[in-house]
Structure formats: structure tokens, C-alpha cells
């Protein structure tokens, strides 16, 4: 991990000064929690609750997108590698029509 941790109570990144979690930290979190999406969601949920307490003026939806919303999205590079082609099983185990 790098220095891209949160600077509280404003929740900016200590490494690049972007809103935390910044793109670099998100990438590092994806790597650290690879194969453990529930653990990642729990960690981010705790951060979200603390940020909501520190920044009561911030809209709840914006905080949710910032802290949790990105975690369910598959990174573009990984998505291309894991996308099933015609006739191959998709992520849900069903075969796609070819």
C-alpha cells in the first residue's frame, strides 16, 4: 500500500489530494481484497459511516457512490479478460447464444 490513505475529517487523499478513496487507492483496495468482495464492502461501509459523521453536509447519495458504489463495478481491464464470448458460460453460469 502507498500513502494514498484518507486525511480526516475532510476525507481527502494524503497522496494526491483527490477525494478519498482516490483512483490509486481504489486499485490498491481491489488488489488487497481480491476474492473477498464482502470484506471490501464491510471496510468501505465503515469508512462511509465515519465520513458521514465527519461531513454531515455531504449528500448521502454522493457519499454512497464515493465510498461504496465503485466497489461493485468490474475494472475495464478485468472485465475484458473475464467476459464470456459466444457459446461460453457467462458469469452466471449460463451459456450465451452464439
Smallest Cα–Cα separation from 49: which of 67, 32, 31?
Answer: 67
Rounded to whole angstroms, how far apart are CA atoms 42 and 92?
A: 24
- Band of residue 67 on the pLDDT scale cut at 50, 70, 90: very high
7-38 residue pLDDT tens? 999 999 999 999 999 999 999 999 999 999 99
Q: Which value, to the nearest 10 degrees, does the dihedral of the CA atoms of residues 88, 91, 92, 98 take? A: -30
Q: Which residue has the cell 458504489?
A: 69
| Region 73-86 average pLDDT | 53
Q: What pLDDT score was predicted for residue 75?
A: 60
With pLDDT > 70 as the criterion, what percentage of the chain qualifies?
Answer: 71
Rounded to whole angstroms, how far apart are CA atoms 9 and 70?
A: 21
Return the C-alpha cell found at 31.
488488489
- Band of residue 82 on the pLDDT scale cut at 50, 70, 90: very low
Question: Is residue 79's pLDDT more than 50?
Answer: no
pTM to 2 decimal places: 0.71
Amino acid at each position: 500500500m502507498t500513502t494514498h490513505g484518507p486525511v480526516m475529517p475532510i476525507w481527502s487523499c494524503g497522496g494526491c489530494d483527490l477525494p478519498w478513496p482516490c483512483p490509486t487507492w481504489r486499485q490498491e483496495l481491489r488488489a488487497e481484497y481480491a476474492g473477498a468482495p464482502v470484506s471490501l464492502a464491510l471496510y468501505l461501509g465503515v469508512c462511509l459511516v465515519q465520513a458521514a459523521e465527519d461531513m454531515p453536509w455531504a449528500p448521502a447519495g454522493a457519499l454512497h457512490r464515493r465510498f461504496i458504489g465503485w466497489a461493485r463495478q468490474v475494472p475495464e481491464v478485468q472485465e475484458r479478460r473475464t467476459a464470456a464470448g459466444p457459446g461460453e458460460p457467462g458469469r452466471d453460469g449460463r451459456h450465451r447464444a452464439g
